[in-house]
A and B are shown apart, each in its own frame.
Chain A
Amino acid sequence: MSGILTCDDVTERNLVEGFVAGTLPGDELEAFEAHYLTCRRCQAELRLATAVRSTLPGIDRAAARRRWPVIAAAAAVAAAAVITSIVFLRPSSSDDGLAALGGVDQAPVYLGVEIRGESGAADSLFELGMSYYLQKRYDQAATTLDASLSVAADLVPAEFFLAVSRLMNGEPDAAVPVFGRLIERGETPYLAEAYYYRAKAFLRLNRADEALSDLRAAAAAGGVIGVQAVALVDSVKSWLQR
């Protein structure tokens, strides 16, 4: 990039957004720095963008708590998982099968938000299971989370991460019924994610119709997961039309 930028250039080239997201290539970053050092307006835009980045995740968590106030702490876990786990799908190559669309580049992130209430055996097992999960030892995570559910069947986060562990461990057929139980619970902070990741499991099993149905349910929930679901619907449809 050469020449001196104007504020219109900054807007047209999405430079404020790229700067705060850390996606600007080196030459654009240098040009933008040279501009905003002497531009009061763009400095204000950067401060506003920073304020948005700093507060938006909190709004998401608050919205999740309003939807399902019973397990508020778990809602924070779910919201964080949604926000931090999303990796946009790349278009599949021509040789990829439908199952490739069921791949999960990065498992939902568990941020270790404390579950409220007295600590008991189920909580201890849950924490142990999540420590395996964080180490990507999904087989042990699934076994331990399954055990935590045998002590406390209503431990919704355990059910979600058990299903994800099964999926990440290459067991989509075992993940599907666990996601199904979670979906049957109705309105929980994990509902949209359960649809989305069950769709992934269905895709791994080449069950495209069921995957599309789940993705539409996830898309209806909106939010980032909804955006992901819409994108995946398009990818699945494109693959089916080939």
Chain B
Amino acid sequence: MTPLADSEPRHSDSEGPSPISADQLCVLRSGLQIMARRALNDAARAEDAVQETLARALKALRENRLREPEKLGAFVAAIARHVIADFHRESARTVPLRSMPETASAPDRDPLESLISESERADVRRALAALGSGDRDILRLSYFQGLTPAQIAERLGEPAARIRKRKSRALARLRRAFLERRGERSQMEGEFDKVDETL
């Protein structure tokens, strides 16, 4: 796991010192956005769920209800699941009938897409277009079918090691394109490279 920066805890204006650092809070928030948008498929309600989760989590942390700090993620994820379930229940009670056809009209849209900017999409599109069609097939089988490199190798009749290498190389190019504009490349590339070596 990427170690979170060990900066000083930030003080909240109204509720006393925060039990986690500003960096930890930032990473938790962006992780919760992924979790909530996937579950609720609605950016505004997901943001509300994120805020509610963070409020409950910080309160629980101040009350020292997290016994094992290394389980912060599981602790907050459990709170988020409760909050999301509450939102689902609330939604079932209050969604007006006239809004239902609109909701049903786009069931296949990836709820996480709204987290990706147009410029990021354009960068990845260019990088994908520069890949060979065989490498794109591997990515398609990975991200649309959820297949492992071994399963893809079986499908394509190629050695698994070769599929892993091709996938790793293709992903390395995409990461460079994706992270460069966001200025995260230098910060994260080393870690990605370490993972690539294990593939």
Q: Which residues on A are within 8 Å of B, measured CB to CB?
A: 4-8, 11-12, 14, 17-18, 20-24, 30, 33-44, 46-56, 58-60, 62-63, 83, 88, 222-224, 226-227, 230-231, 234
Contacts and interface: CB of A to CB of B under 8 A. Distances in A.
B1 A39 contact: yes
Contacts of B2: 7, 39-42
A53 B125 contact: no
Interface string B81-110: 000000000000000000000000000001
17 contacts: A4-B1, A4-B74, A7-B2, A12-B198, A17-B148, A38-B28, A38-B76, A39-B2, A40-B188, A42-B2, A50-B113, A51-B124, A52-B128, A52-B139, A54-B113, A56-B143, A59-B136
A189 to B, nearest CB: 15
Interface of B: 1-2, 4, 24, 27-28, 30-32, 34-35, 70-74, 76-77, 80, 110, 112-113, 115-116, 120-121, 124-125, 128-129, 133-134, 136-137, 139-149, 155-157, 171, 174-175, 178-179, 184, 188, 191-192, 195, 198-199
B52 to A, nearest CB: 15
B73 A37 contact: yes
A7 B1 contact: yes
Contact of A224 (B1, B125, B137, B188): B137
Given A5-B1, A55-B121, A227-B141, A38 B146 contact: no
Contacts of A59: 125, 128-129, 136
B198 A46 contact: no
Contacts of B133: 63, 222-223
A49 B141 CA distance: 12
Contact of A38 (B4, B121, B137, B143): B4
Contacts of B195: 7-8, 11, 41
A176 B12 CA distance: 72
B156 A230 contact: yes
B73 A44 contact: no
A54 B139 CA distance: 12
B68 to A, nearest CB: 9
A223 B144 CA distance: 14
A13 to B, nearest CB: 8
A191 to B, nearest CB: 15
Contacts of B112: 20, 46-47, 50
Contacts of A18: 146
The 6 A-B residue pairs whose C-beta atoms are closest, nearest first, are: A21-B146, A23-B146, A34-B74, A37-B31, A51-B124, A38-B73
B28 A48 contact: no
B131 to A, nearest CB: 9
Contacts of B80: 33, 37
A230 B140 contact: no
- Taking each of B35, B112, B139, B148, which has the highest tally of chain A beta carbons within 10 Å of its own beta carbon? B112
Given A7-B195, A38-B27, A53-B143, A46 B34 contact: yes
B140 A56 contact: yes
A237 B80 CA distance: 51
B3 to A, nearest CB: 10
B128 A4 contact: no
B148 A14 contact: yes
Contacts of A62: 129
A224 B163 CA distance: 15
Nearest to B30: A43
A47 B33 CA distance: 11
